[in-house]
Structure 1
Amino acid sequence: MSKPCYAPLDAFQELTFAVPDHACDSHAHIFGPYERYPLAEERSYTPPENGVERFLWHLDTLGLARGVLVTASACGTDNSSVLDALRSHPQRLRGVAVCDGNTDRATLAAWREAGVAGLRFNLYQLNGQAVYKNGVGLQALQALAPVMRELGMHAQVWVHAPDLPDLAPELERLGVPLVVDHMGRMNAALGTDNPGFGKLCAMLADGTAWTKISGADRNTNRKGVYDDIDAYALGLLRANPEHVVWGSDWPHINYFQPGDVPDDGVLLNTLRRWVPDDALLRRVLVDNPATLYGFGN
């Protein structure tokens, strides 16, 4: 039985800075309405309905112009809500879809035309066990990589950074651009000298991978403050500032207690703490996502 998640907040902390024009939230999800877009029967959590119009409200409230919608594991391989959102808002939205290794070229080409920039693969395990149901794994990526290369699609990999030293050779061999979710989704207590985090920094430095400096709320042991994540974000920015994007992870699924759902204003102000330089902030929020996801000027 999947657990019901708490809803995202209806108001955010006031921002401490001016968000640059054309800024992008590079990681978010939408859910529902469930009458039209039902969840997968087998799933790890049950989020409240938050469709594309609610996501656009989120963007507008924060002063963000663009967003990237990622098909969530609770949706399985049903990308219909994301695809419909992209077709309805082609200037503002791009997508990252989930599909199995048998998906044909014509389908992927149609998705690419609709604004799907990449496919997501769930390699995230702890102690050898998958953390979420419905993940599409390495075998699917291996099967789809030739068509992804042809269509110019990247592979967004949800992976625990400590597993990267073992996984990276196979991922790099496929010749598909890689985007690592949530800074490698490792708890802050593991330390920046962790070999997996070092490998992630090296992959950014040599241009093999990008990363999202998102998920501070998931990696932290300092809820609502996130200063134990500072060294990770700064290390990734130093490794290659041209291969870093930021995302809110709205609507913050998998929070089951009141008061645990993060404030997107706090998360965006945390980004500003990491990036006090205006030119670098514009690179992370505007230029890099425009390149990675194919937004126009």
Structure 2
Amino acid sequence: MPSGACDAHVHVFGPRVIFPFAENRPFTPADAPKEKLFALHAMLGIGHCVIVQSTCHGFDNRVVADAIAAKKGDYCGVALVPATVEDAELRRLDALGFCGVRFNFMKHLGKGAGIEAAIDLGARLAKLGWHLQVHFDASLIEELAPWLKRSAVPVVIDHMGRVDASLGLEQPAFRRLLDLMRDPRFWVKVSGSERISREAAPWEDAIPFARTLVSEFGERTLWGSDWPHPNLAAVPDDGVLVDLLSEIAPSETQRRALLVENPKRFYRFPRKLKP
């Protein structure tokens, strides 16, 4: 890993005796506390990270706040909040090191706020310099795209838009994703190869999608491990995911942009702590 590399998509779970799971959670993971995450990053040589609040913890963002506080500006957080969240709560989270809000449009993660509410919230996020992060099934991209284009803040699309790798690069969902990416407000995470693939590791059918995004929009792509890989029957080896980087971003210049320069610019690492 190059110096200053960023893992732009992970989660932390528990320990549940300290950070209980939400009662109405859509799934119950094993504990994956910050100490395990930090150990993984130390082994891989990763210096920065974006921790994304999980639906299993609901709107209680303390587990992420605790983890990013331990890293003193080198890690930041993406929160889950209701669309009706008070501005005071957003300011509180901002002071703790959060910089965005995620909205899920995935059936297995339960029903959340609609896209119109998410876009309305974006107008308030703009005052803080935050962004919207969206996680959706590829089948929804046509429905969501017109709304996302109305966003008042940058939009980060998770896991390459969850396209089905078996359908190829010419599938309508991927072409629509490329269309969105032509708007400079949009960013995409070339994470989740193991989620969009229909093959076993090393998920070779997913590589062309990530490589295309890096090739065409290399200045607005981000990479994340998605540790600890929730809701997967076969948990991937993080070392294998890292090895894919040379396939996703073949040149050293591309890898440095993906891992260092882009996240540093977008997430403003190292982040200044607020009193």
Distance 1:168 1:153 in 2: 20
What TM-score does the superposition give when structure 2 sets the normalisation length?
0.94
Among candidates 114, 117, 125, match of residue 99 of structure 2: 117
CA RMSD of aligned residues (A): 1.6
Amino acid at match of 1:264: D
Structure 1 residue 294 and structure 2 residue 271: aligned? no
Query: How many Å separate the matches in 1 of 2:23 and 2:97?
Result: 27
Establish whether residue 234 from structure 1 lines up as the match of residue 211 from structure 2.
Answer: yes
Equivalent-residue separation in structure 2 for 1:158 and 1:207 (angstroms) = 19
Q: Which moved more, 1:209-218 or 1:184-193?
A: 184-193
Moved more, 43-52 or 29-38: 43-52
Shift of residue 165, structure 1, vs aligned partner: 2.4
Which residue pairs with 1:163 in the alignment?
A: 140
**Equivalent pair of 1:100/1:140 in contact (CA under 8 Å):** no
Amino acid at match of 1:33: P
Residue 7 of structure 2 is matched in structure 1 by 25
Range moving further from structure 2, 244-253 or 40-49: 40-49
What TM-score do you get using the length of structure 1 for normalisation? 0.87
Equivalenced residue count is 271
- Shift of residue 162, structure 1, vs aligned partner: 3.6
Write the deviation string for residues 58-86 of structure 1: whole angstroms up to 9, x where unpaired: 11111111111000111111111101222
AA aligned opposite 2:245: L
Alignment of 1:1-297 (within 5 A): 19-124=1-106, 130-133=107-110, 135-256=112-233, 260-296=234-270
Amino acid corresponding to residue 155 of structure 1 in structure 2: L
Distance in 2 separating the partners of 1:166 and 1:235: 23
1:241, CA displacement in angstroms?
0.4
Q: Which has the higher contact order (CA 8 A, sep 6+)?
A: 1
1:266 corresponds to which letter in structure 2? Answer: V
Shift of 1:243: 0.6
- CA change 1:161–1:187 in 2 (3 A) is same
Gaps of 5+ in 2: none
SS of equivalent to 1:155:
strand
Deviation at 1:108, TM superposition (A): 0.8
Q: Distance in 2 between matches of 1:235 and 1:163?
A: 21
Gaps spanning 5+ residues in structure 1: where?
A: 1-18, 125-129
Does structure 2 conserve the Cα–Cα contact (< 8 Å) formed by 1:205 and 1:239?
A: no
How high is the sequence identity, in percent, across the aligned residues? Answer: 37
